[in-house]
Structure 1
């Protein structure tokens, strides 16, 4: 992993990037002020890249993910977060809804989120403190998780890309107070445009979609503890939110749990002990499944972590 940053980087102003990130657990921890869990769904070695910029508390970030990933957790507190894809080779799912390049996702004040991305996806997110929107925050739409509007999605992509280019190539452009005020005024205009589009799509969330989100969240928290629902309903709920069957999804979650434990553990544990903690009793089958998903053996994961440390 390669990490570079502006020496003045802080929660107010700065820039940093990390490239060639090999461990998904490390990738998820690099994003400032977000509480997210990442689980790999597709087979192969993971590699990620993150760019992050701050201007007066406004956060921009872009992440590139080589494998299909299921993200869950909470967004940044006390902010409005708008997200778009700038590379989307296949279907993505946000809170159970199918996404395209024309979709804008949003979360509000640390709200819960669930995002499933395909291989080789790239995501851009703008996070604006509610303190900068205090006079218009009451206009935030309710029960809208994403809106499909090509013009708005393109405008957000252009804003985020232009901001990164400006910070990287012309770092002094935002040094002046007046320049930052103009910049924040432009962002407020972008938020107004989002309000206009979102309020046109402000329809109640379907009960079936709410149930799907609850089922998957319960399955992640309690891994193998199923809710009282029929097999067909459970299958449909998982496929709505994750794009995978319950059996495949839960096995992938457990394998991700093993890898996360191997990467972050502090006390000495054998691979077999960690595997058994996550319900893998047949070591040879576990090893084959682990390599099939992550493109490496558990022992190779440990060696890579030891080299980093």
Structure 2
């Protein structure tokens, strides 16, 4: 399973027959590889010469199926997904010429595999792609009513989708983070609060990436209206920070689109709303440590489920590790 170990730091889990959070399979046959993603009705034809080597790593995170597929040779892939399913891929590595649904791809775009038609993907040698599969209804749960009306129709057919660099980066990072947490701490599956936060964050990251990929256009809002949106958002977060840990929760309460909130914060404060929310959550976790029995308890309370990343981000913001802060506020000697 060396194919699933690379610069992203991911390592293959146990075979799919074992009941573990992460499972993996490897093949030397393109038909077997095509069949690994169940329900996709895929057919692979090998285009480049040489022996084939393929692998699939996958996990189920509540309602979201996550997978990572690695293939060694250029392939012509065709397939179709069931109605009501949303499937999106984001390349981790895509080297060489590739086309998806008739358009050239360079690894920066999102691949929407689902829709009413079959997809067609001419993948290059050395493809490494992460995928997210979920029911359309579950994606809608992370959208405002307006976004459901504007975004969901754009997913009606398979296509290559231009992606905002930051949103695509976050999508890749959250995939890596989920795999790391599930492989290093499989007991997270039995921690309802932490597992729920992880699942919601994955769906939110996917919704953000898909929404940011649309042509933003102009919302026609006045500066005064945008300033008002920011004031209302700040009041909500200040009064009930634990109820507003994600951008879509603010959007629903305020009755505005994700893009309108983004523009309002950017133009009024020079910040992204997600940056503001994360800072509020980080401060909340810092205060929670004064009463919590552990750093993990405080982090989980504020929706941080990747404790390693939380520790790094906490130190970057406050100048000390959360473990150091916890010992300091509780008067615990470092010798203990």
TM-score by length of 1: 0.57
Q: Where does residue 169 of structure 2 map in the other structure?
A: 154
Q: Where does residue 4 of structure 1 map in the other structure?
A: 15
Q: State the Cα deviation string for residues 130-180 of structure 1 (Å, max 9, x = none).
A: 232344344325265321432222211111122122222211123222222
Query: Does the CA-based 8 Å contact 1:59-1:126 persist in structure 2?
Result: yes
Q: State the Cα deviation string for residues 9-62 of structure 1 (Å, max 9, x = none).
A: 6xxxx431012x111111111112221111100011111111111112311111
Please give the alpha-carbon distance, in whole angstroms, between the structure 1 residues aligned to 2:210 and 2:184. 32
Query: Does the CA-based 8 Å contact 1:53-1:61 persist in structure 2?
Result: yes
Residue 166 of structure 1 pairs with residue 181 of structure 2: yes
Please give the alpha-carbon distance, in whole angstroms, between the structure 2 residues aligned to 1:133 and 1:108. 13
Please give the alpha-carbon distance, in whole angstroms, between the structure 1 residues aligned to 2:38 and 2:184. 23
Count of aligned pairs between the two proteins: 197
- SS class of match (2:50): coil
Q: Report which of the two has the higher share of strand.
A: 1
Q: Where does residue 140 of structure 1 map in the other structure?
A: 152
Q: Structure 1 129/34 Cα, relative in aligned 2: closer, same or farther at 3 Å?
A: same
Please give the alpha-carbon distance, in whole angstroms, between the structure 2 residues aligned to 1:187 and 1:181. 10
Query: Does the CA-based 8 Å contact 2:168-2:209 persist in structure 1?
Result: no
Q: Structure 1 109/183 Cα, relative in aligned 2: closer, same or farther at 3 Å?
A: farther
Please give the alpha-carbon distance, in whole angstroms, between the structure 2 residues aligned to 1:193 and 1:16. 27
Q: State the Cα deviation string for residues 247-275 of structure 1 (Å, max 9, x = none).
A: xxxxxxxxxxxxxxxxxxxxxxxxxxxxx
Pairing partner for 2:79 from 67, 73, 79:
73
Please give the alpha-carbon distance, in whole angstroms, between the structure 1 residues aligned to 2:165 and 2:83. 27
Q: Where does residue 101 of structure 2 map in the other structure?
A: 95
Please give the alpha-carbon distance, in whole angstroms, between the structure 1 residues aligned to 2:35 and 2:203. 29
Query: Does the CA-based 8 Å contact 2:171-2:209 persist in structure 1?
Result: no
TM-score by length of 2: 0.53
Instruction: Give the C-alpha shift of residue 109 in structure 1.
Output: 4.9
Residue 18 of structure 1 pairs with residue 22 of structure 2: no
Residue 113 of structure 1 pairs with residue 140 of structure 2: no
Q: Where does residue 185 of structure 1 map in the other structure?
A: 200
Q: State the Cα deviation string for residues 90-123 of structure 1 (Å, max 9, x = none).
A: 1221101111121111133564211111111111
Please give the alpha-carbon distance, in whole angstroms, between the structure 1 residues aligned to 2:186 and 2:16. 13
Pairing partner for 1:35 from 30, 36, 41:
41
Q: Structure 1 122/184 Cα, relative in aligned 2: closer, same or farther at 3 Å?
A: same
Please give the alpha-carbon distance, in whole angstroms, between the structure 2 residues aligned to 1:51 and 1:107. 18
Pair member with larger Rg: 2
Q: Structure 1 77/151 Cα, relative in aligned 2: closer, same or farther at 3 Å?
A: same
Instruction: Give the C-alpha shift of residue 72 in structure 1.
Output: 0.4
Please give the alpha-carbon distance, in whole angstroms, between the structure 2 residues aligned to 1:171 and 1:89. 33
- SS class of match (2:22): strand
Please give the alpha-carbon distance, in whole angstroms, between the structure 1 residues aligned to 2:92 and 2:103. 18
What do you get for the CA RMSD once the two structures are aligned? 2.5
Structure 2 residues not aligned, in runs of 5+: 2-11, 218-336
- SS class of match (1:108): coil
